[in-house]
């Protein structure tokens, strides 16, 4: 499982409602190597697969995930925003999503809650039949990743960073050398980087020298994807995984 991965961002989210079982199953059908999903802890300590802190953007109704029980969340329509044909789509649980992952494929789980979700996450993972090398944890919050490492050191962990955004907004952030130092100190598996202009061979070389893997997000342009793969990134996260694989195959045939 060391090949360069094409990762379906929230499932096949260009064609189907993000983070739903329909989008996830479609990603597998179209040949994605992995899927990426977001998780949040509900009021009754269930793990919902959902990106936002509240349901307004997707369902049209405002419910904060952490303040709402799963049963109530699953009464909301998570598909209509995308198309009439997806009316009735529900917010899935992580357990439901893990059951879809085929042999030899991966799931990247982005933790959107705080560290309080980790014991419940560990329980759901243990109940699944997936191999440990099929599950990877990603998060913007280094402290959450540190807690994942303490509680489940066998799970690969990736630190999500938006280097270009920090730079454009003139936000205070650690240098890449400091980022690498922190990732290595806490025994992270790699970095998951926003695919902006700051990603170049020099940057990737520094990261690889530290034996860290590199994923990039979110890439929907085939030429950009091919360029990143040529530079040696280990995975590309895209909203159009099936189409992207087809386009990259065409590039390889013509070169």
Catalytic positions: 9, 51
Residue 252, CB-side half-sphere exposure with 13 Å CA sphere: 10
- SS3 at position 192: strand
Name the token pair of 241: 């995984």
Cβ-in-10-Å burial (0-12, 13-18, 19+) of 73 comes to buried
For residue 121, give the nearest of 160, 150, 152, 90 by alpha carbon.
152
Beta strands in the chain (DSSP E): 5-9, 34-41, 47-49, 106-111, 135-139, 157-161, 190-194, 213-217, 235-238
Q: How many residues does the chain have?
A: 255
CB 235 within 8 A of CB 216: yes
Name the token pair of 120: 């419940």
What values do phi and psi take at 164, rounded to 5? -65, -40
**Between β-strands 106-111 and 5-9, what pairing exists: parallel, antiparallel or unpaired?**
unpaired
Rg of the chain over Cα atoms, rounded to whole angstroms, equals 18
How far, in Å, CA of 153 to CA of 238, rounded?
28
């Amino acid at each position: 499982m060391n090949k360069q991965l094409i990762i379906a961002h929230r499932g096949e989210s260009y064609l189907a409602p993000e983070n739903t079982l329909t989008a996830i199953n479609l990603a597998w059908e179209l040949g994605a190597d992995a899927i990426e999903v977001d998780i949040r802890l509900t009021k009754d300590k269930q793990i919902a697969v959902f990106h936002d802190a509240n349901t307004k953007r997707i369902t049209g109704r405002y419910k904060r995930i952490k303040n709402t029980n799963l049963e109530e969340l699953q009464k909301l329509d998570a598909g209509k925003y995308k198309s009439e044909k997806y009316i009735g789509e529900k917010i899935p649980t992580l357990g439901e999503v893990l059951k879809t992952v085929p042999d030899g494929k991966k799931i990247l789980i982005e933790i959107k809650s705080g560290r309080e979700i980790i014991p419940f996450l560990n329980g759901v993972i243990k109940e699944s039949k997936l191999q440990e090398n099929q599950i990877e944890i990603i998060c913007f919050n280094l402290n959450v990743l540190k807690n994942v490492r303490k509680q489940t050191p066998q799970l690969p962990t990736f630190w999500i960073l938006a280097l270009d955004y920090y730079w454009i907004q003139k936000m205070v952030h650690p240098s890449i050398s400091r980022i690498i130092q922190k990732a290595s100190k806490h025994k992270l598996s790699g970095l998951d980087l926003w695919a902006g202009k700051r990603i170049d061979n020099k940057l990737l070389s520094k990261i690889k020298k530290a034996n860290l893997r590199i994923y990039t997000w979110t890439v929907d342009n085939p030429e950009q994807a091919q360029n990143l793969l040529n530079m040696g990134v280990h995975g590309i996260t895209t909203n159009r995984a099936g189409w992207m694989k087809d386009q990259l195959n065409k590039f390889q045939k013509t070169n």
